[in-house]
Amino acid sequence: MAFSLDPTEYRELLRTFLKEDLGAGDITTETTIPTSQQAQGELIAKAPLVLAGIGLFVEVFRLLDANAQADILRRDGEELSPGEVPVRLRAAARALLSGERVALNLLQRLSGVATLTRQFVKAVEGTGAQILDTRKTTPGLRALEKYAVRVGGGKSHRKDLSEAVLIKENHIRLAGGVTAALVAARAVKDRVAWIEIEVTNLEELREALEHAPDVILLDNMAPPKFSEAVKVVRAHPRGGKIRIEASGGVNLNNVREFADAGADWISVGALTHSAPAVDLSFEIEPIHS
């Protein structure tokens, strides 16, 4: 599958990242490296990973040197083994040195998200369950982190608070209960992608079922309890049309149990809030004229 991300659309964001790192200027590079020096850089995978954000990596250097040339050898979504080289760059040496940390930080972060997502997707392969992200993203990086989830094979949940109704525990408490919240939500049914409610026990679940939400989120239920709740939903006259989402307490060791128990969606906050950065290095050599 081909993944599309236009890095030029994120130039202002990348400039912000560079400004943060450069400050008043890269004093070390400006002091030691002539402006005329050209160099080549080679990105190397140091561990197994799923690549995500390679276009952004290159764009960082193009912001510092408009004449930078890139030979992109691997694309987003491809799995890399240690020692593989996804891109080679030729540019002003100063640009490669000054942009190295920003470019690597971003690529390692996004590839980490894609790599962890791919592990979850493979764990539920063949079940029909979909792995979803959440809104537990880094402020300012949501679009890119959710892109990385898709690169890894996951799906995007709500992109923001306006896309769908998701009634959670605090909403239920403040609205006056499950029924009150779902009745109120009907007013915007035609304006949102779906109406969903989070329940934590069978009593709340049975009450929610009487109002036929599009999605029911079974929150923080261990697999045996989750399986019991799924059976309650499917036994209800309207239960066949309701999507069931698992969330809370999901990890690589138990995600298959939730999928086998009948989850349609499995949302995993860890995809974006806890994915470890992957190991990549950028080795730079001078080009002698």
101 carries an active-site annotation: yes
The DSSP bridge pattern shows strands 243-247 and 87-92 to be unpaired
Number of neighbours of residue 35 by Cβ within 10 angstroms: 8
Q: Which distant-in-sequence residues (6+ apart) come within 8 Å of 278 by Cβ?
A: 45, 47, 49, 108, 111, 112, 115
- Residue 159 designated active-site: no
Indicate if 191 belongs to the active site: no
Catalytic residue among 11, 75, 101, 155: 101
Residue type, 164: A
Q: Which of 59, 100, 145, 198 is catalytic?
A: 198
Amino acid at 98: S
The C-alpha atoms of residue 167 and residue 42 are separated, in whole angstroms, by: 48
Cα of 135 vs its chain's centroid, Å: 9
Nearest to 218 by CA among 188, 206, 116, 237: 206
Distance in Å from the first CA to the final CA of the chain: 41
Q: Which candidate in 19, 168, 173, 234 is catalytic?
A: 168
Please indicate whether residue 198 is annotated as part of the active site: yes
Q: Strands 265-267 and 243-247: what pairing?
A: parallel
Exactly one of 11, 74, 75, 136 is catalytic; which is it? 136
Q: Indicate the residue type of 66.
A: A
Tell me phi and psi for residue 138, to 5 degrees: -75, 125
Judge whether 168 counts as a catalytic residue.
yes
- The residues that are catalytic are 101, 136, 168, 198, 219
